[in-house]
Amino acid sequence: MEELEMAIMNIIINAGDCKNHVYTALNNANEGNYEEADKEMQIANDALAKAHDGQTIFLHKEANGEKIDMSVLFVHAQDHLMTAISEKNLIEQIIELRKVVNTLVK
């Protein structure tokens, strides 16, 4: 696999890891395990930062005049990154709501 494809796969893998960890965090919050939920969210944030850093490399190259070949794989990576960001943001809000609901149900 060439360097460009490896960089694209890095975005896909880290964005996928982010999504996995935010859903694990949500499951923990649903069960009242907030400490575990916080740990999972931190891991998700770290994975998202890695994915975003991968994207930034492409943005810097393009800004410096280097032609970046667009491919279906690159578009797929961008899709994963953007949905990971959206899902993480929504799940953070859901977890906060879940904390309120869990205190009312007890």
Binding-site residues from annotation for Mg(2+): 79
Question: What is the rounded CA–CA span in Å between residue 101 and residue 104?
Answer: 5
Binding-site residues from annotation: 79
* Nearest-10 Cα torsion for 13, 17, 19, 21: 180
Which residues belong to the active site? 76
Question: What is the rounded CA–CA span in Å between residue 30 and residue 100?
Answer: 11
**R_g of the chain computed on alpha carbons:** 17
Nearest to 25 by CA among 14, 48, 41, 45: 41
